């Protein structure tokens, strides 16, 4: 049951959402095991975070036997759009152009990436 996101997830919540988007559904133990691959995190910490996320309607929860099975209640793409809009608004004073110029000026961009960027610009221009 995916819905539009209206609350900004914390970094820890976003990590959990990314796991749930990849797995579809998971228990707290499964999420904790995934989180533990990159850093040390306690089971009770993961459990508390997921309970808070449930209260914030970021995840849904069903009972399967003795376990709660969680699923992302917000979509990955709408979440990315919301976070990017907030980032551009606060970091680049609302200018996507400034963000792109900064990103392209600070990074090595491959020929393939430049071609993808050109195709995107072309499709945007054709759509207007």
What are the structural domain ranges in the chain? 11-72, 76-127
Q: What pTM did the predictor assign? A: 0.77
**Higher-pLDDT residue of 121, 30:** 30
Q: How far apart are CA 65 and CA 117, in angstroms?
A: 49
Q: What is the mean pLDDT of residues 56-68?
A: 94
Q: What is the pLDDT confidence band of residue 3, given thresholds at 50, 70 and 90?
A: low
Fold of 11-72: Arc Repressor Mutant, subunit A (1.10.10)
Average pLDDT over all residues of the chain: 91
- Numbers of helices and strands, H then E, in the chain: 6, 3
Q: What is the pLDDT of residue 1?
A: 45
């Amino acid at each position: 049951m995916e819905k539009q996101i209206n609350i900004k997830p914390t970094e820890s919540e976003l990590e959990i959402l990314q796991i749930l988007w990849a797995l579809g559904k998971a228990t707290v133990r499964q999420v904790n095991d995934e989180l533990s691959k990159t850093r040390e995190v306690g089971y009770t910490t993961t459990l508390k975070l997921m309970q808070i996320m449930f209260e914030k309607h970021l995840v849904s929860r069903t009972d399967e036997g003795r376990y709660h099975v969680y699923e992302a209640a917000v979509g990955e793409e709408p979440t990315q759009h919301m976070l990017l809009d907030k980032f551009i608004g606060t970091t680049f004073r609302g200018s996507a152009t400034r963000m792109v110029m900064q990103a392209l000026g600070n990074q090595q961009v491959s020929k393939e990436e430049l071609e993808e960027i050109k195709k995107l610009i072309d499709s945007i221009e054709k759509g207007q």
